[in-house]
Amino acid sequence: MKRILISNDDGIHAPGIHALEEALEGLAELTVMAPLTEQSATSHALTLHHPLRVRELGARRFAVEGTPTDCVLLALREFFGGTPDLVVSGINHGPNMGEDVIYSGTVAAATEGAILGIPSVAFSLATRGDADYNPCRSVVRDIVQSLLATTLPHRFLLNVNIPAVPEDQIRGRRVTRLGSRMYEDDVIRKEDPRGRPYYWIGGSLAEWSTDVESDFHAIAENHVALTPILMDLTDAPRMQVLRDLGMER
Ligand code: MN
């Protein structure tokens, strides 16, 4: 029997992780290790300065008072017992496309799996409002089944976004690249009842890349977007630019 480690960033009580567990039931032995509370946009944060408490909520089901990265690291080093065939993160409430993968705790959980040598995949439902995870189930199950059936390359990391439409309106799947997005009014300044200013981060999405290969484009056309992610952020062409500037001596 294959073995899967499940995590997320919306927390162990989020509807998305329950949908993920249900989607994968019977495909593999499932172990869940997820944050006790919501950790969205915590990126790849690791808890180094206070103790991590783990609560056993059921059979192979653990909540951690920590981040998604803490969960995957703790699971693989301490709680899982052996090596999973796959780390699966999600299903996130909201998209993780373009630059947002840098902020995403959902993607970070999968990235941690890949760094530790386990093929990993992150799933996000690209909704900006309410979430109906039902149409995701067969998509998720099908993709995970394909991944389990093959030998994946070292540090395999896949980011999947699912359009938030009824199942019969999902038009297919596309292999995509990360697009680019722009938020309008990224930081909003308001005043509290005592007249002091406060700031709220997170505006509305104004524009995104029109690149036809992008994840944004696929989602806009009701396709599931599958983006393979590299951890090597080196800008290879600019290595030569730096050398040409005489930075190397
Ligand atoms: Mn989240």
pLDDT tens digits, 145-174: 999 999 999 999 999 999 999 999 999 999
Is the pLDDT assigned to residue 182 strictly greater than 90? no
Is the pLDDT assigned to residue 185 strictly greater than 70? no
The whole-number pLDDT of residue 207 equals: 72
Where residue 199 falls among pLDDT bands split at 50, 70, 90?
Answer: very high
Rounded distance from Cα 191 to ligand 1 centre (Å) = 28
The whole-number pLDDT of residue 201 equals: 85
Strands ordered across the beta sheet of 61-64:
54-58, 61-64, 29-35, 3-7, 86-93, 120-126, 157-163, 223-228, 172-175
Is the pLDDT assigned to residue 127 strictly greater than 80? yes
The whole-number pLDDT of residue 181 equals: 82
Rounded distance from Cα 10 to ligand 1 centre (Å) = 4
At 240, is the secondary structure helix, strand, or coil?
helix
The whole-number pLDDT of residue 128 equals: 86
Q: Kindly report the average pLDDT of the chain as a whole number.
A: 94
Q: Which residues surround ligand 1, an ion (CB under 5 A)?
A: 9-10, 40, 92
What's the mean pLDDT in 218-223?
96
Rounded distance from Cα 24 to ligand 1 centre (Å) = 20
At 111, is the secondary structure helix, strand, or coil?
helix
Rounded distance from Cα 93 to ligand 1 centre (Å) = 6
